[in-house]
Amino acid sequence: MTVSVATWNVNGIKARIDNLLTWLEESKPDIACLQEIKSVDENFPKARIEDLGYNVVTHGQKGFNGVAILSLLPIDEATPRLPGDDGDEQARFLEAVVSVEGGALRVCCLYLPNGNPVDSDKFPYKLSWMERLEAFARDRLALEEPLILAGDYNVIPMPEDARHPDEWVGDALYRPESRGAFRRLANLGMTDALRASSDADGLYTFWDYQAGAWQKNNGIRIDHLMLSPQAADRLSGVTIEKHVRGWEKPSDHVPVRIELT
């Protein structure tokens, strides 16, 4: 059995619902992690997605943030919020355990803070969030089960993950502290699915709406699927579904999809 898992920052479910439904019918991921739904749970267009056969769980917030997990497979349990800060009200994390052949798959949908401007409290919040994610991953890795941390990390890991890395120097997405936190996550034993399958340049997941970035292919790679050893052992393919960026009323991100055997 092959299980496909995708991540996509839709940049507003209300604006992107038609594109989402088209993509779900075209790509048919078994599990889809959505970020930046910008919707409270009760306003999320759950029924339209369920009509395609998906189970839907959301952790929403009015106007910004918000994450959702859609699954053609049974969802055994779902838990919102990243542990480690009871005062954090931002809807950025959702964990689900999904039944798959031969056991269970733990999938976490995450939307890391942007962190800009770096001279505000937003950058320390980003770094503390990443510390919490590292602690969470360490705990989950101890379970020795297939685990996927999928989402918009708002981190450009390496220079080859940007068309013009020099333009991002000083930005929170490319600051050494952000990239170091991403490396620490990898050093726990998590595998960057895309980089496990290709070391090529020009593999981007985000193109800004401004300055003709899409037309010039001035992109960055900030949407990642990080896999535990038990998930990485089953990795059989990775696809950036770049064509979605060319649709009418697109998100500035595109889906990234992996296949697990």
pLDDT at position 101, please? 84
Catalytic residue chosen out of the listed positions 30, 54, 111, 204: 111
Q: Which residues are annotated as a binding site for Mg(2+)?
A: 9, 36, 152, 154, 252-253
Alpha-carbon span 103 to 112, nearest angstrom: 29
Establish whether 152 is a catalytic residue: yes
pLDDT at position 29, please? 98
> What is the domain range of residue 67?
3-260
pLDDT at position 102, please? 80
Whether pTM exceeds 0.95: yes
Q: Which residues are annotated as a binding site?
A: 9, 36, 152, 154, 252-253
pLDDT at position 139, please? 97
Question: In the structure encoding, which two tokens stand for residue 70, read together?
Answer: 């859609």
pLDDT averaged over 10-residue windows placed end to end, the chain, 261 residues: 95 97 98 98 97 98 95 96 95 96 93 97 98 98 97 98 97 98 97 96 96 95 98 97 97 98 91
Query: Residue 17 maps to which CATH number?
Result: 3.60.10.10
Alpha-carbon span 128 to 126, nearest angstrom: 6
- Pair 179, 241: CB distance under 8 Å: no
CB-based contacts of 137: which residues, under 8 Å, 6+ apart? 147, 149, 185, 188, 190, 226
| Phi, psi torsion values for 151, nearest 5 degrees | 160, -170
The number of distinct structural domains making up the chain is: 1
Catalytic residue chosen out of the listed positions 30, 152, 171, 192: 152
